[in-house]
Structure 1
Amino acid sequence: MDVRYPAEPFKIKAVEPIAVTTRAEREKHIAEAGYNTFLLKSEDVGIDMLTDSGTTAMSDRQWAAMMIGDEAYAGSRNFLHLQEVVREYYGFRHIVPTHQGRGAENLLSQICIKPGDYVPGNMYFTTTRAHQELNGATFRDIIRDEAHDAQLEIPFKGNVDLNKLQALIEEVGADRIPYVCLAVTVNLAGGQPVSMGNMRAVKELCARHDIKVMFDATRCVENAYYIKEGEPGYADKSIRAILKEMMSYADGCTMSGKKDCMVNIGGFLCMNDDELFMKATELVVLYEGMPSYGGMAGRDMEAMAQGIRESVDEAYIAHRIAQCRYLGDRLTEAGVPIVRPVGGHAVFLDARAFLPHIPQDEFPAQMLAAQLYLEAGVRSMERGIVSAGRDKKTGEHHRPKLELVRLTIPRRVYTYAHLDVVADACIALYKHRDNIKGLNMVHEPKVLRFFTARFEPLK
C-alpha cells in the first residue's frame, strides 16, 4: 500500500493485558456461547471489535475530570458544566442526561409517539426501532436506495431520499409523523455519512409540514469529518464549526455518549422545544433519575464534557478515520468483500458476498463472526437478518439486503498492528470460505434477539 496513515496522536500511559487462547479453547468458548459473540466472556477475547460503544480509552484529562465529580442528588455542578458544553458545541438549549443512548430513545419515543404514528428514518437501528414500535409507531425506511448496495462506492450513502419522505407525508399525513429520525452516521449501512446539504433539505421539507427532525447523533463527529473531507465548501472549516452547523438542522437529538463523547457510560436527550423539555424532565425522573443527573454519576458527566471537547480535535478524528480505512484497504487489496466506501467507526464485511453459498435463513453473517473468533480470537458482531428481527405483524424475518459482519474499532484502544491481526484472520477465512457452513437458531428472544440468541452449526 502506498497510502500514508497517520501515527496515533497519543502516547500510551497504561496497558491492559489481552487474552491469548488456543484454537481448541476458542472452539469450546464459542460453543458455550451458542455461536453468539455477544455471549463470549471478555476474558476469552483477544482483540475485541464487538462495538465502539463504551469501549473508548479515556484520556488523562478525562480521568482527572472524574476526580471532581459532584455526586449531589440535585443540582450537580457537573451537570451544569455538561449543559454548558453541549450548548457550546452542539447548540441545543436543553439537555436531559440518561444512562446511555437507549434511555434517550425511550424518553423521546414515549413523549412524541402515539399509536398509529409513523417514524421515517435513514435506515433502522435496532434499539431505536424497538422503542418506536413498543410505543405504537411503524418505522419507514427513507434512506437512498444506493445505501443497500454494499459494493457501490459513492459519497454520502446515508442521505435521505427526499422523494421517499415526501411520499410518506402524502400517504399518511404530516400529523401522523411526530419526527424524522436522522442518523449521522448510519450504522447499519456501514457507518455511512449524511451530507450537510441533505440535512438542510430534510429540515426545510419537515419545517414546511411542521414535523420535527431528531438526530441520532451518536457518531456525529465522524459525520462532520466526512463533510469536511468530501463536501464542497467545507474543506477549510473546522470539525467543531461543521458539527455546530449540522446540529442547527435538527430540533434535538438522542446521544449515546459511549461513542463520540468518548466515555464508558452515559447519554442524553437534547431539544430546543420548551414543552418537550418539560415532558422529558417529568419522565426522566421515572426511568432514570433527577433531571440534573438522569442515569449518570457526576464524575461521568464531567468526563463526558471533557470528551466532547476532545472529540473535535482534528488530529484525533483524522487518525480514527484512517484506522478504519487502513483495515478496509488491507481487506480490499486481498479481495475480501466489504462495504464501500469504508465508514467512520468500523469496517463491515459483506457476508452475502463472502459466503454466497449460505442462504440468509442460515445466518451467514452470524456464522462468519463466529468463524473470525475461532480463527484468531477476534470478536466482531452480526449486522444482518438476526439483527433485523421479525415483522411484528407477520412473524416473518425482516430480510435486509445488507448481510454484514461489523469490525468495530474502539476509540484510542488498538494500534495498526492489532488491525493487521484482524486483517490476516479475515483474509485467511476468505481463502477457505467454501468450507464454512450455516447455523440453526435454537433460542430466539422476542425482542432484540441478536443480543442473546443461541445457535448451533448445521450438520
Structure 2
Amino acid sequence: MDINKFPAEPFRIKSVEPVKMNTREERERIVKEAGYNTFLINSEDVYIDLLTDSGTNAMSDRQWGGLMVGDEAYAGSRNWHHLEDTVKELFGFKHVVPTHQGRGAENILSSIAIKPGQYVLGNMYFTTTRFHQEKNGGVFIDIIKDVAHDAGKNVPFKGDIDLQKLQKVIDEKGAKNIAYICLAVTVNLAGGQPVSMKNIREVSQLAKKHGIKIFFDATRCVENAYFIKEQEPGFENKTIAEIVHEMFSYGDGCTMSGKKDCLVNIGGFLCMNDEELFQAAKEIVVVYEGMPSYGGMAGRDMEAMAIGLKESMQYEYIRHRVLQVRYLGERLLEAGIPIIEPVGGHAVFLDAKRFCPHLKQEEFPAQSLAANLYLESGVRSMERGIVSAGRDPKTGENHVPNLETVRLTIPRRVYTYKHMDVVADAVIKLYKHKEDIKGLRFVYEPKQLRFFTARFEEI
C-alpha cells in the first residue's frame, strides 16, 4: 500500500473522550445479553464504534460556538433562517421543511407524494425509506444496475440507475402510476457506491419526458460529489459545492438526514420545488415534527447544521473522509478479505457470503459475523443483509438480497488511521478462524425494521 496517497487529518484534536477495552470474557457476556445484536450493546462497552456514521460525527469548534447562539424561539428562529438560506444556496431547491432527522423527511414525503398502489422506483432500497414508502401504500421497484449486486465487481459508479430497467417499468406500469423516482447519492446498501453525473442527467431527461418527479436521498451527497470530482471526466476542476448544486438541479427535491454529511448529531430536512407539495408538507410537519420553522430541532442544532453543511463542502475535509475509508478497505483487500468493491464513501462492507461460506444465508451469516467481530475485538459494526431486508409485507417471506454484508461505518472526524489499523487487524485475525463462526436464529423478531431490536441465539 502506498501510504503517501492517504492525507493526514485536516484538523487538530481539541477535546478527547476516553474509551476502554473490556476483556474477552466480558464481551462474551455482553454479546449474549444483547442477543447477538450489535444495536443492543451499550456504547460504554464498545472500543471502536463503527455501527453507523449517522449522528456520530465530531463537530468543529465553529459548530460548538454556534450552539451558544441558539435562538430557541418557538417560531421564526434566526437559526432556522440561517439553515434555510444555507440549504437553498447550496442545494438550489425553492422550499425547505425542517425535520428531527432523515426518516421524518421520508415519512412526510411518502405521505404527500404516494397514492396507494403507486410504484416508487429507486437505485436499491434503504430500510427506513422503503418502510415509509410501503406504509403509505407504495410498491418499491429496484432499478439499479445489476452490477451493484455483485460484491466482487470493481467498476466505478455502481450506484447508477439502469435506464433500460427504468424505461421498462414506465412502459409496463404507466407513468401516472409511478409516484416518483427515489435517487440515492450515494447508495448505502450497495456499499456506499456513487452515482455519476451522466447517469443523473440521463435519468432526469427520461423522467421529465414522462412527467415523473425525482426526489434524491441526499444523505451522503457530498461524498457522491467527491467521487464525481475524482473519477468523472470534466469535473476535476469543479468545486464540491458546484457539483452538489448541479446534481440537485436535475431533481424536484430531496430528503436529507443531517446526521451524515451535515456533520451534526441530529436533524434533517425535506426540500422541494413544487408549491402544492410544499404546502402539504408544512401541514404535516406541524402534526408530527413541530413548527415549519424548527421541525423537531432546537435552534442551536439548526445553527450547527448550517455551519456543518458549509464545512462539508471543503475539499480537504471530504478528501480525507473518503480516503480514510479507502485506507481501511485497501488494508483488508491486501490481506485477502472479501469486501464490496470498489470501496465506497462512508464504510467498508465485508462480504459475509464469502467470509462465511459454511453458513447458509438463512442462518444470518452477516449478523453472526458482526457479533463475532465485537467478541474478537470490541469493534462494533452492523449487519446489512437478510435481517435488514426484512419480510415482504404481503407474503410474509424474507426478502433475500444478493448482498449479505457487515458494514464497518466510519464516523466523520472521529477516528485516526491507527484506529483503522486496529479494525483491520481484528478482521484479519477473525478471518483466520472464520469456520468457528456459528449461524443464528431468531429469539425475538419485531414486525417492522427488525434489525434494530431483534434478538438471536446461536444454532
Q: Partners in 2 of 1:394 and 1:236 — Cα distance? A: 50
Q: Offset of 1:250 from its aligned partner?
A: 1.1
Q: Which residue of 2 aligns with 1:41?
A: 42
Q: Partners in 2 of 1:314 and 1:392 — Cα distance? A: 43
Q: Describe how 1:296-375 pairs up with structure 2 within 5 A.
A: 296-375=297-376
Q: Describe how 1:13-412 pairs up with structure 2 within 5 A.
A: 13-412=14-413
Q: Partners in 1 of 2:144 and 2:19 — Cα distance? A: 39
Q: Offset of 1:318 from its aligned partner?
A: 0.5
SS at match of 2:189: helix
SS at match of 1:167: helix
Q: Describe how 1:424-435 pairs up with structure 2 within 5 A.
A: 424-435=425-436
Q: Counterpart of 2:85 in structure 1: which amino acid?
A: E
Q: Partners in 2 of 1:66 and 1:320 — Cα distance? A: 24
Q: Partners in 2 of 1:44 and 1:3 — Cα distance? A: 32
Q: Partners in 2 of 1:391 and 1:114 — Cα distance? A: 19
Q: Partners in 2 of 1:236 and 1:135 — Cα distance? A: 43
Q: Counterpart of 1:217 in structure 2: which amino acid?
A: A
Q: Offset of 1:267 from its aligned partner?
A: 0.1
1:151-196 CA-partner distances (Å, limit 9, x unpaired): 0000000000011111111111111111100000000000000000
SS at match of 1:394: coil
SS at match of 2:164: helix
Q: Partners in 2 of 1:71 and 1:203 — Cα distance? A: 39
Q: Counterpart of 2:61 in structure 1: which amino acid?
A: D
Q: Offset of 1:3 from its aligned partner?
A: 3.9
Q: Partners in 2 of 1:163 and 1:209 — Cα distance? A: 14
Q: Partners in 2 of 1:68 and 1:93 — Cα distance? A: 26
Q: Partners in 2 of 1:274 and 1:105 — Cα distance? A: 18
1:350-403 CA-partner distances (Å, limit 9, x unpaired): 000100110000000000000000001000000000000011111111000000
Q: Partners in 2 of 1:300 and 1:250 — Cα distance? A: 27
Q: Offset of 1:19 from its aligned partner?
A: 2.3
Runs of 4 or more, structure 1, over 3 Å off, are none
Q: Counterpart of 2:425 in structure 1: which amino acid?
A: D
Q: Which residue of 2 aligns with 1:2?
A: 2
Q: Partners in 2 of 1:179 and 1:145 — Cα distance? A: 21
1:3-23 CA-partner distances (Å, limit 9, x unpaired): 421000000000001121100
Q: Which runs of 5+ in 2 are unaligned?
A: none
SS at match of 2:120: strand
The alignment covers a number of residue pairs equal to 458
1:423-445 CA-partner distances (Å, limit 9, x unpaired): 00000011111121111111100
Q: Counterpart of 1:180 in structure 2: which amino acid?
A: I
Q: Partners in 1 of 2:25 and 2:223 — Cα distance? A: 39
Q: CA RMSD in A?
A: 0.6
Q: Counterpart of 2:335 in structure 1: which amino acid?
A: A
